[in-house]
Amino acid sequence: MTTFRQAAAGSGRSVCNVPAPGREAIAHSEALTHRIIERIIENKGAIGFDQFMRMALYEPGLGYYSAGARKFGRDGDFVTAPEISPLFSRCIAVQCEEVLRSIGGGSLLEVGAGTGAMAAEMLRELEYRNCLPERYLILEISADLKARQQELLTMSIPHLMGRIEWLAGLPKYEFRGVIVANEVLDAQPVVRLGFEREGIFEYCVSRERDDFTWSKVTAGPEIISHAGRIRRQLDGAWPNGYTTEINLGLDAWVSTFAGILEQGVILLVDYGYPRHEYYHWQRDQGTLLCHYRHRVHHDPFLYPGLQDITTSVDFTAVAEAAIDAGLSLIGYTNQAYFLLSCDMEQIMNRLADMDQKHRMQLLAQIRMLTMPGEMGERFKLMVLGRKCPHQLRGFTRSDQRGHL
């Protein structure tokens, strides 16, 4: 096993322009660090990056998404589309309305509801359109986020609280309706791998005193097989030293949600690429990013439990997993085309009414959601379905399934 340090290493590690946490946050991060180190010791000196990422994000009581630190919005680490503008969630609701009416009603299931802003705006729009779901289910693993969602929704739509139900796990029954997952897949654990002339290796995480360091081991059969399938589909060889990621758990995730979907769609929103762009030979350092206090950097070992760790989504892999699970690929496009196809302008005019100041605010939000230099091109929408119409309005301006 080969070990090596990255540039911003050590217990006093720092990343340019990233602020230092407070004393309580540091203590929280150190507690998680020690737990990960215990796992490394138990595993004879190294764990896969996927296991490190899983613990950093989801370790009970300590992981980034399991603990109580504020994550979303101006006071958190990043801002998602539902916090940028109500227009985003209301356009998603327009697509949900079309699906619900086409299948004769049903429910909505939101996977990881963040602050609750998306649920509030979707339910408002569906109420306006006289198409409220039978139930609005929220699958949430964080007790802290659940409490914040309940507070926001109780204050903003108290008359609809009877339709909302929080789940700790998947429904125990077959589901009819729309499953919505906004920025969920990018936070799934991934393996990191590298390519050298002598073969494929896996990046693992090892211990160095009370900190972490990268180590390299020969990749196992599953990783080699998965990487081999990807490389055979692409034109051109990866250069020596090429680094990337693979989400080995993606098939199981898609299959799990496909397994409960009796009729309806799974609507996915995330940043990512089709496979030929994700694994382009020029993207030779992968897509791993970390978010802390609205700063973006590349050090996953900085402040474990206090920062988000993400990778982009291979949407070709999502489509393949869906088809293998018996679902149809109904549509794929970028966020700009999808939102503009779902009445964004009409909703803006209705919300602004005659208030010019509000209208200007909404126009600024539209630019953030749709411009190529903002979120419009980087974020993609994919809809997977079962027993559902194969033409949906969100893809009328541009359906890019052929790019996958």
Nearby residues of 314 by Cβ (< 8 Å), 6 or more positions away = 246, 247, 250, 272, 273, 274, 275, 278, 279
Give the model's pLDDT for residue 7.
38
Dig out the tokens for 85 from the structure.
């503008």
φ/ψ region of 300 (left if φ > 0, alpha if ψ in -120 to 50, else beta) reads alpha
Distance from C-alpha of 240 to C-alpha of 395, rounded to nearest angstrom: 39
Q: What is the pLDDT of residue 9?
A: 36
Tokens of 273: 């690429």
Tokens of 189: 């654990």
pLDDT of residue 172: 84
Q: Kindly state the tokens that stand for 229.
A: 């399938």
pTM of the model as a whole = 0.93
**Residue pointed to by tokens 């953030």:** 368
Mean pLDDT by 10 residues, the chain (404 residues): 48 64 89 95 96 96 78 63 96 98 98 95 98 97 90 98 95 94 97 92 91 94 93 84 96 97 98 96 94 88 94 98 98 98 96 92 96 95 94 96 96
Rounded Cα–Cα distance for residues 403 and 2 (Å): 39
Per DSSP, helices labelled H in 313-381 are 315-324, 335-341, 344-352, 356-370
Among 133, 109, 138, residue whose Cα is nearest residue 123: 133
DSSP 59: S
* HSE-up of residue 320 (Cα within 13 Å, Cβ side): 13
Place of tokens 């149809």: 328
- Provide Rg for the chain, Cα atoms: 21
CA 253 to CA 251: how far, in whole Å? 5
Q: Is 109 in contact with 175 (CB distance < 8 Å)?
A: yes
Residue type, 361: Q
Please determine, looking at this structure, whether the domain spanning 81-184+252-274+313-403 carries the CATH number 3.40.50.12710.
Answer: yes
**Rounded distance between C-alpha atoms, residue 399 and residue 391, angstroms:** 10
The residues near 103 (Cβ < 8 Å, ≥ 6 apart) are 176, 177, 263, 264, 387, 388
Q: Which two tokens stand for residue 289?
A: 């990013």
HSE-CB at 20 with a 13 A cutoff on CA atoms is 8
Please compute, for residue 388, the number of CA atoms within 13 A of its CA located in the half-sphere on the CB side.
Answer: 31
Tokens of 15: 């990343």
Phi then psi for residue 245, to 5 deg, are -135, 155
49-58 vs 23-42: helix crossing angle, rounded to 10: 140
How many other CB atoms are there within 10 angstroms of residue 196's CB atom?
Answer: 12
Q: Count the neighbouring beta carbons within 10 Å of the beta carbon of residue 65.
A: 19
Residue 59 has φ and ψ, to the nearest 5°, of -55, 125
Neighbours of 7 (CB within 10 A): 8
For residue 309, what are its two tokens?
Answer: 């760790």
Q: What is the pLDDT of residue 238?
A: 87
Please give the pLDDT value at position 315.
98
pLDDT for the residue 21:
85
Question: What residue segments make up the domains of the chain, in order of their start?
Answer: 81-184+252-274+313-403
pLDDT of 390 reads: 84
